[in-house]
Amino acid sequence: MILDRIHEPRDLQSLSVAELVQLSSEIRERIIGVVSRNGGHLASNLGIVELTLAVHRVFQSPHDQIVWDVGHQSYTHKLITGRSESFPTLRTLGGLSGFPKICESRHDVFNTGHSSTSISAAQGLAIAREHMQTDGKAVAVIGDGALTGGMAFEALNFTGHKKNDVVVILNDNEMSISPNVGALSMYLHRLRLEPAYTTPKDYLAHVLRQIPGFGSRLYNVLSRIEGSFKYLLTPGMLFEEFGFKYFGPVDGYDFETLERALVRARERKGPVLVHVLTEKGRGYKPAQEHCNEFHGIGPFEIETGKVKKTGEAPRTYTEVFGDTLCRLAASDKRIVAITAAMKEGTGLKKFAAEFPSRFYDVGIAEQHAVTMAAGMAKGGLKPFVAIYSTFMQRAFDQIIHDIALMKLPVVLCLDRAGLVGEDGPTHHGVFDVSFLRMIPDIQFLAPGDEFELELMLKYASEQNGPVAIRYPRGVGIGRGYVPSKQSEIVCGRATIAREGTDLAVWALGHTLQSTLQAAAELEKSGINVKVINPRFIKPFDLDLLESLVLGNIPMVTVEENVLAGGFGSMVAEHAIEMGHAAGMLRIGLSDAFAQHGSQAELRSIHQLDADGIKNRIFNWFGNRLSLNGRAYRSLRSVSDHPEQAVRRAS
Ligand SMILES: Cc1ncc(C[n+]2csc(CCOP(=O)(O)OP(=O)(O)O)c2C)c(N)n1
């Protein structure tokens, strides 16, 4: 195996083209094997093997600094930067991250996970080099999908103005997760296809100048004419106008031309963009043919490409969202749906098929999605914007400035709220409660199960102001388990999911299910727990809270969000003002980034599964009883306090 001999990128230097081809196929085999067991981003990684090898042969990492946009395509990079042996641990608890991480390798110069940051980061690194007077190049490797994100344009704009040494390598496979969208994507498509666009300017100049008599003059005149001739003469004109020297399009699987283009980029002063054509899923038929599904995939059978199923599972929250929205849209023509390049992930595929004229994929452009929704709402429509909680962080200002201030009836659907699992810290949706609950004039809900999500979506469609709903990654409870009280949603009203007298637990969203299990266990120890499903983070059920405060009932809050500024903080703020003296425990994520691992493992580590919730409550309540009122001090001395456990694990 050639791969076994590659420990550092410099080990690639001595390889012949034939050996590079052999190495590429070994790498593909390794990636397919590991992803088939652990799940991961397969199609993007299979497409970029040769380009990654070429980049590492031409640029000297870490002297030259390579930033991988999104970073989901960095598996080959990991394999050739000393992580081949540990690669089987990819995305598992304590194992390699699925994204670049500066703590993992000196070759990972910048953490990524959210899209469209690479050119800004590379620009920052280039400026730092100027100040620190070190040489080397800053390189951004960015996909055509990531290039649709606004930040990428902001960075191109600045770089064209700054005119410093930044190399942008555009990995163009014509796909985001779904086929890429937008005018820029159409432009790239034309660059790929039309021979005129791919005719090298120098060659055209050479041909024109051959024409006896007036050839040179003709070339000069044509060069000066704005419009189509100029575009004909200069491939990649758009990027040239942005101040970049454009090289391409280059075949991403031809080592010789690829390296020639990269060497030219390396040698040139100022901003350069190398446009490389690749194909998602390259070398593995199922991923090539269904690159959508193989963008991010769970464990699968290599022979068939079929995802390994774990028996009949209840519907996911995402599916419930998609189905319910279709039902609501059938009877309300004002409902439209917006996604930021996540049609499948957010469950809008069915909506897009049933209501194509009411479905909008804006590309990786969360900020635009939110403000566009605000405009649609102002014009009389009922937009539902489905964005993962983690990516909604991008649109914080737009939610305040363009939706809440005008009280516009936009429904923000925050999928993947809570711990998402293997994608890790860049993707956990654990901040939204904190950053949305402080915004005035917004209703903010979290369903206790998937049936309640349906009710909440219907409720949201009937409101005249902004509504946000957060729901988790994964399956619901299915019929036959412990459904939350399926009564009608009433603004600002919680429901009691379980009666009890010793203490009251406010269990936000899907934590309701684990809390109910914990309550059943605590009952066996003689602790009788009332479990409340708050339903609303805003407006919060202050009447119910007041009745508990007046009854002098100790309280617990449970949330899959950071404790800082989260749901528990909010309950505590109100409770203190009401004079609550019976004590309170907040269960949630402590002040440390949760790492990657399966959802079940992470919930166990952070004591957010039924067992963890039970133990936290048991220790706290037990200590309270024995120490009579010195609860907080005794809590801090409990040895399995999650803050300490998390710090040990990270
Ligand atoms: C801000 C943000 N929104 C959405 C995503 C989800 N996402 C991950 S990869 C991807 C598509 C990226 O396409 P491209 O850059 O062309 O890379 P490819 O996978 O095609 O190689 C999307 C939408 C993200 N990572 N960040």
Domain boundaries, the chain: 3-199+235-289, 317-470, 495-649
Find the 281 Cα to ligand 1 centroid distance in Å: 15
Per-residue pLDDT, 85: 97
The residues facing 529 across adjacent strands are 503
Task: Say if residues 447 and 133 touch (Cβ distance below 8 Å).
Answer: no
Across 226-240, average pLDDT: 66
Q: Which atom of ligand 1 is nearest to the CA of 48?
A: 21
| Best CA proximity match to 51, nearest among 243, 265, 360, 219 | 265
With cut-offs at 50, 70 and 90, classify the pLDDT of residue 15.
Answer: very high
How confident is the model over 445-488, as pLDDT tens digits? 999 999 999 999 999 999 999 999 999 999 999 875 566 666 89
For ligand 1, whether the C-beta of 341 sits within 6 Å is yes
Q: Which atom of ligand 1 is nearest to the CA of 342?
A: 23
Q: Name the residue of 49, 67, 70 to mutate for ligand 1: max ligand atoms within 8 A of Cβ.
A: 70
For ligand 1, whether the C-beta of 398 sits within 6 Å is no
For ligand 1, whether the C-beta of 391 sits within 6 Å is yes
Per-residue pLDDT, 210: 72
Q: Do 3-199+235-289 and 317-470 show the same overall fold?
A: yes
Find the 73 Cα to ligand 1 centroid distance in Å: 10
Count Cβ atoms below 10 Å from residue 624 Cβ, excluding itself: 20
- Record the pTM: 0.92
For ligand 1, whether the C-beta of 114 sits within 6 Å is yes
| Best CA proximity match to 383, nearest among 341, 412, 361 | 412
Find the 99 Cα to ligand 1 centroid distance in Å: 12
How confident is the model over 525-578, as pLDDT tens digits? 999 999 999 999 999 999 999 999 999 999 999 999 999 999 999 999 999 999
Say which residues have a Cβ less than 8 Å from residue 569's Cβ, sequence separation at least 6: 434, 563, 586
**Does an H or E element contain 560, and which?**
strand 555-562
Q: Which CATH architecture has domain 317-470?
A: 3-Layer(aba) Sandwich (3.40)
For the chain, the C-alpha Rg in angstroms (whole number) is 27
Task: Say if residues 89 and 39 touch (Cβ distance below 8 Å).
Answer: no
Judged by DSSP in three states, 595 sits in coil
The mean pLDDT value of the chain amounts to 92
For ligand 1, whether the C-beta of 175 sits within 6 Å is yes
pLDDT of 222 > 60? The answer is yes
For ligand 1, whether the C-beta of 364 sits within 6 Å is yes
pLDDT of 250 > 70? The answer is yes
Taking each continuous run of H as one helix and of E as one strand, the counts in the chain are 28, 17
For ligand 1, whether the C-beta of 346 sits within 6 Å is no
Per-residue pLDDT, 225: 56
Per-residue pLDDT, 255: 97
Across 268-287, average pLDDT: 96
The DSSP 8-state label assigned to residue 157 in this structure reads: H
Find the 97 Cα to ligand 1 centroid distance in Å: 17
Is 285 a catalytic site residue?
no
With cut-offs at 50, 70 and 90, classify the pLDDT of residue 632.
Answer: very low
Is 343 a catalytic site residue?
no
Task: Say if residues 97 and 170 touch (Cβ distance below 8 Å).
Answer: no
The DSSP 8-state label assigned to residue 328 in this structure reads: H
Percent of all residues in the chain with a pLDDT value above 70, rounded to a whole number: 90
Is 366 a catalytic site residue?
yes
Residue 539 has which token pair?
Answer: 């407006």
For ligand 1, whether the C-beta of 143 sits within 6 Å is yes
The residues facing 276 across adjacent strands are 171, 250
How confident is the model over 398-426, as pLDDT tens digits? 999 999 999 999 999 999 999 999 999 99
Residue 451 has which token pair?
Answer: 């049936």
Residue 259 Cα distances to 237, 251, 382, angstroms? 22, 10, 51
The residues facing 247 across adjacent strands are 274
- List the alpha helices (DSSP H) in 141-198: 150-162, 183-193, 195-198
Residue 294 has which token pair?
Answer: 């193989």
Per-residue pLDDT, 638: 40
With cut-offs at 50, 70 and 90, classify the pLDDT of residue 637.
Answer: very low
With cut-offs at 50, 70 and 90, classify the pLDDT of residue 389.
Answer: very high
**Does an H or E element contain 335, and which?**
strand 335-339
Active-site pick, 394, 416, 437, 624: 394
Find the 146 Cα to ligand 1 centroid distance in Å: 6
Residue 355 has which token pair?
Answer: 């209501």
User: Which range, of 189-198, 304-313, 577-586, averages the lowest pLDDT?
Assistant: 189-198
Distance CA 638, CA 640 (A): 6
pLDDT of 51 > 60? The answer is yes
pLDDT of 634 > 50? The answer is no
Q: Which CATH architecture has domain 3-199+235-289?
A: 3-Layer(aba) Sandwich (3.40)
Cα–chain center distance at 518: 31
Distance CA 450, CA 163 (A): 52
Find the 273 Cα to ligand 1 centroid distance in Å: 19
Per-residue pLDDT, 647: 52
Across 58-76, average pLDDT: 98
Per-residue pLDDT, 212: 72
What topology is assigned to 495-649 in CATH?
A: Rossmann fold (3.40.50)
Active-site pick, 366, 450, 452, 559: 366
Highest mean pLDDT among 217-226, 300-309, 503-512: 503-512
Distance CA 103, CA 81 (A): 13
For ligand 1, whether the C-beta of 68 sits within 6 Å is no
Across 636-650, average pLDDT: 47
Distance CA 1, CA 179 (A): 35
